[in-house]
Amino acid sequence: MTIRHVVSWKLATSDETERAEQAAEIKRGLESLPAVIPQLRSLQVGVNVVPGDNFDVVLISDFDDLDGIQAYLDHPAHLEVAGYIRSVVGSRAAVDFEV
């Protein structure tokens, strides 16, 4: 069984330059995680390219099981990236499902 973890974030800022910088920092931080978290089987991060009322950043990641997701969530590297994300995000949506 593979568990897919999908998270979308809407940044709090309305300034387009700041939004682009924050989205790039989120992407950079998340993309650093596969090198240090062995439970993370695959990871994709996308930054929205269509203006409007969409979410700004999406994470799509795969794990072997729910224990793998928990290990990822508790890992110090993830906690550091998540701390930055929480500091700049206005809203978040997430879903975990079997694939």
Q: Which of 1-10, 16-25, 45-54, 74-83 has the lowest mean pLDDT?
A: 45-54
The continuous run of DSSP H or E covering 78 comes out as: helix 76-88
The whole-model pTM stands at 0.95
Contacts of residue 3, defined as CB under 8 A and 6 or more positions apart, other chains included, come to: 62, 63, 64, 65, 66, 68, 69, 96, 97, 98, 99
Query: Could you state, in order of their start, the residue ranges of all structural domains in the chain?
Result: 3-98
CATH topology of domain 3-98: Alpha-Beta Plaits (3.30.70)
Q: Rg of the chain's alpha carbons, rounded to an integer?
A: 13
Higher model confidence: residue 83 or residue 1? 83
At 59, is the secondary structure helix, strand, or coil? strand
Which amino acid does the sequence have at 95?
V
The predicted-structure confidence for 36-75, as pLDDT tens digits, reads as follows 999 999 999 999 999 888 999 999 999 999 999 999 999 9
